[in-house]
Amino acid sequence: MSYLVKKCALVLCVLLPSWVLADTGTITVGIVPQFEQRQMFKNWKPILIELEKITGLKFELIGSSKIPAFEKQFNQGAYDMAYMNPYHALKAYESQKYIPLVRDSRKLKGILVVNSDSTINTIKQLENKTIAFPSPNALGASLLMRSILKEKFGLIFKSRYVQTHNSVYLHVAKNIVDAGGGIGQTLIHQPDALQKKLRIIFETQEIISHPIVIHPRVSKAKRQLIKKGLIELFRKEKGKALFRNVPINDLVSTNINDYKSLLKLNLDRYFE
């Protein structure tokens, strides 16, 4: 090998991400951090262990404590497989052609919560108040919610981004902020004591739920094996119980066309 070829190879090794350089045979899995990282691992690790038994493949769960960091990773193609919000699925398809495999048939709603002792009962009472959101691009909890508050209600408010849904609910419960955006599926997974300190004052329209997507670099045979394995796992009582923690209550097949309806919401102006 010539000196020039060796030098070029060395430069490529430095510049290219590790997931481009080698295929270890392990499927890396990213999860949108709706919950804090410890809970995310608790929810997903048992699912991947069971999926390994069904498919014979190996899966590695990669944690991400903040939604913006997760977004950066999937836009660079860092994950072989990922669980993400519906609008992320569109962006991941645009940037890396991630393929939606399965999703919950149940739709999700964004919710706006206040402290249960708050005197705030209507959106208009939040004028010039501070509202917590997980991140700018959390779909139901922030992206859709902020667009509705501004365009439908003409509300002027201060946004505070606190990284996770858990953190939103805690900020509201502790009266650090006046209100917070979340989704029903994450609220019901909070401790009872925390839920009792919160009150929903507004819900968005229903939208399609989070998908599990896979990068096209994963072979078609493996993609089909994983999709079949996820559905097979869900059909088992043990699998249903595990997916309920995500939360996914009714796992069905999906594809990118199911998510294109979100384009009608014109949310790009709020996407950061």
Residues 10 and 99 in one domain: yes
Confidence of residue 148 (pLDDT cuts 50, 70, 90): very high
How far does CA 74 lie from the centroid of its chain?
11
Average pLDDT over residues 4-19: 41
Residues 189 and 241 in one domain: no
Among 203, 219, 236, where does a domain finish? 203
Residues 85 and 11 in one domain: yes
HSE on the CB side for 77, CA within 13 Å? 15
pLDDT tens per residue across span 101-126: 999 999 999 999 999 999 999 999 99
- What pLDDT is attached to residue 64? 82
Residues 88 and 59 in one domain: yes
Q: In terms of residue numbers, what domain contains 53?
A: 3-107+209-270
Residues 36 and 102 in one domain: yes
pLDDT tens per residue across span 172-221: 999 999 999 999 999 999 999 999 999 999 999 999 999 999 999 999 99
Per-residue exposure over 207-217, b if at least 16 CB sit within 10 Å of its own CB, e if not: bbbbbbbbbee
In single-letter form, the type of residue at position 231 comes to: I
Please tell me whether residue 207 adopts helix, strand or coil conformation.
strand
CATH code of the domain containing 97:
3.40.190.10
Residues 64 and 21 in one domain: yes
pLDDT at 43 over 90: yes
Of the ranges 21-35, 112-126, 136-150, which one carries the lowest mean pLDDT score? 21-35
Residues 70 and 15 in one domain: yes
Among 174, 203, 232, where does a domain finish? 203
pLDDT tens per residue across span 221-259: 999 999 999 999 999 999 999 999 999 999 999 999 999
Q: Residue 99 corresponds to which tokens in the numbers above?
A: 């393929």
**Bridge partners, residue 202, by sequence:** 112
pLDDT at 22 over 50: no
Residues 156 and 237 in one domain: no
Of the ranges 41-55, 63-77, 109-123, which one carries the lowest mean pLDDT score? 63-77
Confidence of residue 24 (pLDDT cuts 50, 70, 90): low
Residues 185 and 265 in one domain: no
Q: Is 25 left (phi over 0), alpha (psi -120 to 50) or beta?
A: left
- What mean pLDDT value characterizes the chain? 91
181 versus 8: the higher-pLDDT residue is 181
pLDDT at 23 over 70: no
Residues 103 and 116 in one domain: no
Residues 74 and 119 in one domain: no
Residues 98 and 179 in one domain: no
